Structure 1
Amino acid sequence: MTGIRYEDFLDLDYEPAASDLVCSFHVEPAADMDMESAASRVASESSNGTWAELQVSGGITDLSATAFDIDGSRVQVAYPDELFEDGNMAQVLSCIAGNIMGMKAVERIRLLDCEWPEPLATTFPGPQFGTSVRNDIFDAGDRPITATVPKPKVGLSTDQHAEIGYEAWTGGIDLLKDDENLTDQAFNPFHDRLTESLAQRDRAEEETGEPKSYLVNITADANTMLDRADAVAEQGCEYVMVDVVTTGWAAVQSVRERCEELGLAIHAHRAMHAAFDRVENHGVSMRVLAQIARLVGVDHIHTGTADLGKLENEDTEGINEWLYADRYGMNDVLPMASGGLHPGLVPELMDRVGTNVGIQAGGGVHGHPDGTHAGAKALRQAIDATMDGVPVEEYAEDHSELATALEKWGTETPR
């Protein structure tokens, strides 16, 4: 008979194996619990433990996680590779971010970071394209690609939506983008919007001589998303957009598989991420969510504005670094900066996040006093000025659209 106790899950002398998934947690023990006891319970509950001491007859596979390092409130736990099903992100998260989030043994717990071992990481496909979309689709050279969401983000008719797309594309925007809550509503049906927007895309490409594309939101149940991806490919579009957190990672994996068959890139909107990552001492960090997104295979993901926009951001620069870094030969991911951006913020944004990004502005394009076309030109002018090393104020002397944008918004961050 073999006894399994909480203390069996704590070993401060353990050296993780190369095949272990190592997770870092912020842990605040319950009032009646010391840190070592709380750490052992985190490892237990997230692997093969339970609250009662077990007497198990016969040999069993040892799938116990091990809490091996405690540094203040930071606890590191190593998980054996055999614990996980290959290529099943839902199952992985049920272990490392499942029941432990609700245990009474901890007052607060946050999954901060993961070190993904090669045996597990390579069971996921990773991005099909990654940052290569900047040149493979847009021939953008060294500059960031640009995107905009028609505003208001819901309520426009299909005709209005497509016309705004045309104005933005001809002003210099690369990508028209649906927002997170526009899917297939009566005021702007999915299939009509796809067809009419791409017709305007083609018109804009002919007039500008530049490639353009459309991030159409296919978010729905998994089967519907697959049908919509098929429709997108049939219409000659290069992208789909998915609300990856609200949809769920298993559904994203299904979309990734279909998109490889169709040759489509995936733009990941992170709506609902803050339900997991905004509280600093509980939940799942945006860093981990971005890691998951890369493993399951998105090509773009929103990572924030390095504290320049209207939304709270968690270490945009550090997350972007992880998305770029080599991970067992897996393609990288293009970070998208979005949320309260306008032309006056572009120089500082590019200084903080570089040029291998996408820059998305909604209100900062459509709120331009002279309309969407002028707003798109102003955003592109701000990027061009920064790429040329020219202060935007100086560049604006010969570019009226940028001058008007700077007069309206300056370099202030909206709230």
Structure 2
Amino acid sequence: MPSGSSVSGASLDLSRARFEVVYHLACPGTEVETRARDICIEQTVEFPESAIPNPEIREQIVGRILAIEALDAGRFEARIAYPVEAAGSELTQFVNLLFGNISLKPGVRLVRFEVPDALADLYPGPRFGRDGLRTLVGVTDRPLLCTAIKPMGLGPHELADLAHRLALGGIHLIKDDHGLADQVFCPFDERVALCSEAVSRANRETGGNALYLPNVTAPAGEIGRRAHFAKEAGAGGLLFCPGLAGLDAVRALAADDRLDLPILSHPAFQGGHCIHPDSGVSHGALFGQLNRMAGADATIFPNWGGRFSFTREACLDLVEGTVRPMGSIRPIFPVPAGGMRLDRVAEMCDFYGPDVILLIGGDLHANGRDLIDNCRQFSNLSQQA
């Protein structure tokens, strides 16, 4: 081809269906239109608009500004629509289209997105969701209870003993601490086998339906092996950290019919994505909507008033993301955590309502009373609230 020649390309014939994404922009009012237009280009063609060879690309592929509204001094909300075909059929590309290159620029925050049926149908989402998880543990009308086996440094037999007592005390979800992986002092296979058996034994003793959820976050080639080992050992669910190993890894676990286990998402490594109000991703989009699209059934996050910095408003936004209409994708449980105490159970129940999983860890051990009795107190407080 002679130098300097161009090819306009084959004619595009897309559906013209688009989905909407909401961004918040921190910039002077004189720049907001330019910034919004930059998102439209950067998130799609990433190419000088004047040099686009085919006008159909400009018309059908490039993002489209739907509205820009002022929020307060120096902050604006922009609604931008993208063609559904640009997202392909892969979660990785969908996330890239939402907030790929533009995440590298200051003053841009992904706030929420609307998922039309054309996209939602590509993602089954949570296998269980709120209703399915309630069915598994046999609790229909009140908060579920969760805790973690810890601290790091205990061996498999010690952690299994803890898991057994926690299940005897009435905890519904007993998860690995997210720091438990495959360490020399607590090998994964041994821990999972012993803890699964301990919780199953407690269920036989009480008639309960407690679930043990081992942490299967691992190097890419090891995730599937650990998850299937957990299933075969009798685990009742999985803990996974999408910030460490990827949202699409969650999707693969949720889609695996041979596993058929609920997934509890942990926020490790994701804090930097959300804590600055003028950049990153909103709490509702990150911990709510994206977890649901990936297939998590419940999402752990730091509750307001704990040892982390989430605000009441951020927590409410997060809860909204767990239930926001997204086609046929099921709502999931919010799981407020992070230094929560028994004396805050009534407050949390009042704030979140009954559709919540309450996660209390260290405080079940801290006051020196019998661990089983402390768990029963936790259960009683949640039912009285």
Distance 2:131 2:98 in 1: 32
Q: Deviations over 1:38-70 (max 9, x none)?
A: 111111111114247305168658301012211
User: Percent same amino acid at aligned positions?
Assistant: 25
Q: Which residue of 1 aligns with 2:265?
A: 268
Using a 3 Å threshold, how does the CA distance of structure 1 residues 66 and 331 change in structure 2: closer, same or farther?
same
Secondary structure of 1:309's aligned partner:
coil
Using a 3 Å threshold, how does the CA distance of structure 1 residues 199 and 57 change in structure 2: closer, same or farther?
closer
Candidates 67, 70, 73, aligned match of 1:69: 67
Distance 1:379 1:140 in 2: 15
Amino acid corresponding to residue 231 of structure 1 in structure 2: F
Distance 1:189 1:239 in 2: 19
Deviates more, 1:94-103 or 1:212-221: 94-103
Distance 2:202 2:374 in 1: 16
Return the offset for 1:241: 1.1
Using a 3 Å threshold, how does the CA distance of structure 1 residues 135 and 38 change in structure 2: closer, same or farther?
closer
Does the CA-based 8 Å contact 2:110-2:280 persist in structure 1? yes
Deviates more, 1:317-326 or 1:184-193: 317-326
1:285 aligns with 2:282: yes
Distance 2:382 2:321 in 1: 24
Q: Which runs of 5+ in 2 are unaligned?
A: 9-14, 71-75
Q: Which runs of 5+ in 1 are unaligned?
A: 5-16, 387-415
Q: Which residue of 2 aligns with 1:128?
A: 127
Q: Which residue of 1 aligns with 2:109?
A: 110
Amino acid corresponding to residue 84 of structure 1 in structure 2: A
User: Superposition pairs for residues 298-337 of structure 1, below 5 Å?
Assistant: 298-305=296-303, 307-313=304-310, 315-337=314-336
Q: TM-score by structure 2 length?
A: 0.88
Candidates 242, 246, 265, aligned match of 2:244: 246
Q: Deviations over 1:328-381 (max 9, x none)?
A: 233221221211112110111001101122111001212122143232122112
Distance 2:162 2:278 in 1: 42
Q: Which residue of 2 aligns with 1:81?
A: 84
Secondary structure of 2:150's aligned partner:
coil
Distance 1:59 1:345 in 2: 57
1:93 aligns with 2:91: no
Return the offset for 1:109: 0.9
User: Superposition pairs for residues 8-407 of structure 1, below 5 Å?
Assistant: 19-29=17-27, 34-51=31-48, 53-54=50-51, 56=53, 60=57, 62-72=60-70, 73-86=76-89, 88-103=90-105, 107-152=106-151, 154-258=152-256, 260-289=257-286, 290-305=288-303, 307-313=304-310, 315-386=314-385
Amino acid corresponding to residue 36 of structure 2 in structure 1: A
Aligned pairs, number? 365
Return the offset for 1:303: 4.1
Amino acid corresponding to residue 82 of structure 2 in structure 1: Y
CA RMSD in angstroms comes to 2.4
Q: Deviations over 1:214-241 (max 9, x none)?
A: 1100001233111111111212222111
Distance 1:236 1:363 in 2: 26
Q: Deviations over 1:141-186 (max 9, x none)?
A: 312111111232x111111111111121112212211122211111
Amino acid corresponding to residue 129 of structure 1 in structure 2: F
Distance 1:101 1:200 in 2: 45
Amino acid corresponding to residue 227 of structure 1 in structure 2: R
Secondary structure of 1:337's aligned partner:
strand
Return the offset for 1:324: 2.9
Secondary structure of 1:21's aligned partner:
strand
Does the CA-based 8 Å contact 1:134-1:141 persist in structure 2? no
Return the offset for 1:30: 7.7
Return the offset for 1:102: 2.2
Distance 2:200 2:145 in 1: 17
Amino acid corresponding to residue 81 of structure 2 in structure 1: A
Distance 1:58 1:19 in 2: 18
Q: Deviations over 1:183-204 (max 9, x none)?
A: 1111111110111112211221
Does the CA-based 8 Å contact 1:368-1:374 persist in structure 2? no
Deviates more, 1:196-205 or 1:321-330: 321-330
Does the CA-based 8 Å contact 2:197-2:234 persist in structure 1? no
